[in-house]
Each structure stands twice: as structure tokens, then as C-alpha cells.
């Protein structure tokens, strides 16, 4: 498994916190090439 970079971990934590606070469908906005797909894939585990 590939280890996430610190900013990817922060994005993942932000989504989890959003869900835990009762939020609906989150939007993950990151610059091109920063690993959005890796963050989303990690969230699906």
C-alpha cells in the first residue's frame, strides 16, 4: 500500500470529520497531480 502524503492525510481527515458531523456529499478540491484519486481510494477502504 502506498503511504499518503501529509496533505492527503489532512484531506482524508477533513472528509471523515465532515461525515461525522452529519454532512452529506463532500467535495474534495485539490490541485492537479496531488493525488485526489489516492485520497478517495483510501476513503473507500
H helical segments located in 1-45: 6-20, 36-43
Q: What is the pLDDT of residues 15-37, one digit of tens each?
A: 999 999 999 999 999 999 999 99
pTM: 0.86
Does residue 24 belong to any structural domain of this protein?
A: yes
Does residue 14 belong to any structural domain of this protein?
A: yes
Does residue 16 belong to any structural domain of this protein?
A: yes
Residue range of the domain that includes 14: 6-43
Does residue 15 belong to any structural domain of this protein?
A: yes
Does residue 1 belong to any structural domain of this protein?
A: no
- The 10 Å CB-count burial string (b at 16+, else e) for 5-21 is eeebeebbeebeeeeee
Count of structural domains within the chain: 1
Identify the pLDDT of residue 27.
94
Amino acid at each position: 500500500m502506498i503511504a499518503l502524503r501529509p496533505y492527503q492525510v489532512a484531506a482524508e481527515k477533513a472528509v471523515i470529520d465532515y461525515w461525522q458531523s452529519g454532512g452529506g456529499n463532500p467535495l474534495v478540491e485539490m490541485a492537479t497531480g496531488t493525488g485526489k484519486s489516492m485520497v478517495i481510494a483510501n476513503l473507500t477502504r
